[in-house]
Structure 1
Amino acid sequence: MNSNYSFTIYTTVSILPNTWDAVASENKFLQSDYLSVLEESAPTNMECFYIGVFEDKNLIGVALAQYLNLNKLESFGERDKCFKTAIRNFVFKNFASHVLFMGNNMITGQNGYVFSKKMDFETISKINLDCANEITNYFKKQSITIHIVTFKDFYPDGASELKKYCFNPFYEFNSQPNMVLELQNDWKTNEDYIGALTKKYRDQYKRAHKKIEGIEVKELQLDEIEKLEDRIYELYHFVAKHAPFNTFFLAKNHFTTFKKQLKEQFVIVGYFLNEKLVGFHTILLNGTVLETYFLGYDEQVQKEKMLYLNMLYNMTHYAIQNQFKKIIFGRTALEIKSSIGAEPITMSGFLYHKNKWINKFIDKIFRNLEPEMTWQQRHPFK
């Protein structure tokens, strides 16, 4: 690594260098207002670190790291009630409960770091590893042993480059792909999008649209979010708890804090039945990219009204209307997301276990613990 490079690890947003947001201008998830959301309302089992990379004395890169204490977790996910899940939970509690993520474990996509100048992958891998070692030592001084260090998420070309350098000995894993919908230039209205669908998927759209009749859909303002905070959290928590796998639960004030900090760049849309909130979805406006965030719903209403599918259509409609270039739908529910046109993008992560004997067999252990995923990709466009 160039000896002119150095880094500083910060534990609070208020002391970040004043050029931080200029360096992070390409990615909302690394800007100080979003980092303030994490600081004020991170999951209770998470601690965040903000990394500044300097060339001489000039800030040229910013990065995020997150420590997770899985011992504080109420559940790792309750959807798959089986022996394998019980084994997985035991292993995580005893051999993988202290995890350091170099990157953002709360969202999907390459949001771990950004540089204001072109950097070679050897330097990037070295900086990542040096920062991970420094944070690991920080916890060691507090008598906390980090079990697993994970570097997430990388697109295939970046992952293959990083493997040539410091990441080479680490276990590379591909969990569920990131579902991304590239919006066509000729989609100026929602009708253009519907017109691009084959008959089968136009019929799906019409059926979903008809099912949601009787539901009032509206964007929520800050005062409404504050008033509905408990109900929003209840709906979010139901969905999160029934996910196949979880490493955190959001704090109750997370969505309110997010709206306060990011204002019009963070949108919460509420779904009401007989004036009662029965679902919501959230989106973040990240330059030309629409990032989907967390959502929640009442299971009974979701089944009757095809609520989740309608949320996906509504996000797509919003993106077209506001001329975004693509929508990041994230992981999970791959098949239904592909039915509205999202394509799977493979993303890699790298990890190693600090215990050298466990690390030796990490590939076998990881493959056996990862929730199984079978799905059929849909092709809805003509």
Structure 2
Amino acid sequence: MESNSFKIYSSIIDLPETWNTVAIGNAFLQTPYLKVLEDSAPTNMECFYIGIFEDTELIGVALAQYLDLNKLESFGERDKCVKKAIRNFVFKKFASHTLFLGNNMITGQNGYAFSKPINFKCISKLLIESSEAIIDYFKKKKITIHIVSFKDFYQECSVELKKYEFSNLYEFNVQPNMVFELQSNWKTNDDYVAAFSKKYRDQYKRAHKKCEDIEVRELGYDEILLHEERLYELYHYVAQNAPFNTFFLAKNHFSTFKKQLQEQLRLCGYFLQGKLVGFHTLLLNGDVLETYFLGYDNHIQKEKMLYLNMLYNMTKFGIENQFQKIIFGRTAIEIKSSIGAQPVMMSGFLYHTNKYINKYISRIFRNLEPELEWQQRHPFK
């Protein structure tokens, strides 16, 4: 442990040459994606890149994100209720400056990577110390960090982290990550559809019939630039109507992403009579297919079952390109289970830097975000 240290960087230009070698197993920690964050991060976000060293050798990389919630236009407009108003007031007053160790823009354990085995005692200590160093950085700028959150750990990792430095932190579970483990015997989309029970095969046919007059095609960089304003409009509608937001993407995010990651990012547009009415994005992350942001015209979505067709199309891409699994993320978890995704519980940890507020953080957190009730679907024979 004595030989391990960390260094925090605020620009990818300064990262060690071996950064991508250490991060090779996760596209969300490699410099092309970090460059996307640097060039088109949400306006209320500042990113930090953490290098972890054994003596002088880089053996680990991590990502941290600071969010200023005072700069948000909205926390989300879906819930029209007193609880929403109370929640928004609390966040503005007591949680407007938030530090995430991990990536708050995506779902999954994408916060750190190591090139060699390292024990959880060391990991927990390094993550805590890194967060404290970033808190001190902001303190010198006269900014008080309110909440520190360590984001998205699979259960086996959270159990280990709680044995060490995370033992006094509040552990929380929100909506599960919906993960679709694709069957190795599915070689074509027809194999997938054949595995459905009659009820869900009928649902598949009905959804596809609704979308017969929708043209679906992948957009290259030039087309993304051409449709950038419309893409953002469609994305923003979905984001604005989510239950809760801590950021909104920059308007140039999708073109920047495509320029940096090229064929590793796939953006598919949905056109009705030549007009863009929806889109979805996919990131090719080794043998894992990661769903990214999407958007749609709500009137078309209802009429054409557009969102469900997007889920089917992303699954088709995963099967035909022989990915092992698809990460569908949180939100809309019941409909995602209807196409075959399974819930995977993930944990986060957080604390409030005000000791008095932190004493009641579990009660506050539970009251602000009620437990989700949903019915898991079982679509296969």
TM-score by length of 2: 1.00
SS in 1 for 2:78: coil
Give the structure 1 partner of residue 232 of structure 2: 233
Give the structure 2 partner of residue 369 of structure 1: 368
Instruction: Detail structure 1 runs of 4+ shifted over 3 Å in the superposition.
Output: none
Query: Deviations along 1:12-65, whole A, 9 cap, x unmatched?
Result: 011111100000000000000000000000000000000000101000000000
Give the structure 2 partner of residue 67 of structure 1: 66
How far is 1:318 from its partner? Answer: 0.3
Give the structure 2 partner of residue 353 of structure 1: 352
Residues 1-382 of structure 1 mapped to structure 2, 5 A cutoff = 2-382=1-381
How far is 1:101 from its partner? Answer: 0.1
How far is 1:371 from its partner? Answer: 4.6
- Residue 47 of structure 1 contacts residue 68 of structure 1 at CA under 8 Å; is this kept in 2? yes
Query: Deviations along 1:328-351, whole A, 9 cap, x unmatched?
Result: 000000000000000000000000
Unaligned runs of 5+ in 1: none
Q: Structure 2 CA distance, aligned partners of 1:108 and 1:232?
A: 22
- The alignment covers a number of residue pairs equal to 381
Query: Deviations along 1:332-379, whole A, 9 cap, x unmatched?
Result: 000000000000000000000000010000000000001542110000
Q: Structure 2 CA distance, aligned partners of 1:60 and 1:336?
A: 40
Q: Structure 1 CA distance, aligned partners of 2:272 and 2:152?
A: 38
Query: Deviations along 1:184-222, whole A, 9 cap, x unmatched?
Result: 010000010001110000000000010001100000000
SS in 2 for 1:168: helix
CA-based RMSD: 0.5
How far is 1:249 from its partner? Answer: 0.1
TM-score by length of 1: 0.99
Q: Structure 1 CA distance, aligned partners of 2:95 and 2:173?
A: 19
Q: Structure 2 CA distance, aligned partners of 1:186 and 1:296?
A: 32
Query: Deviations along 1:261-300, whole A, 9 cap, x unmatched?
Result: 0000000000000100000000000000000000000000
SS in 2 for 1:167: helix
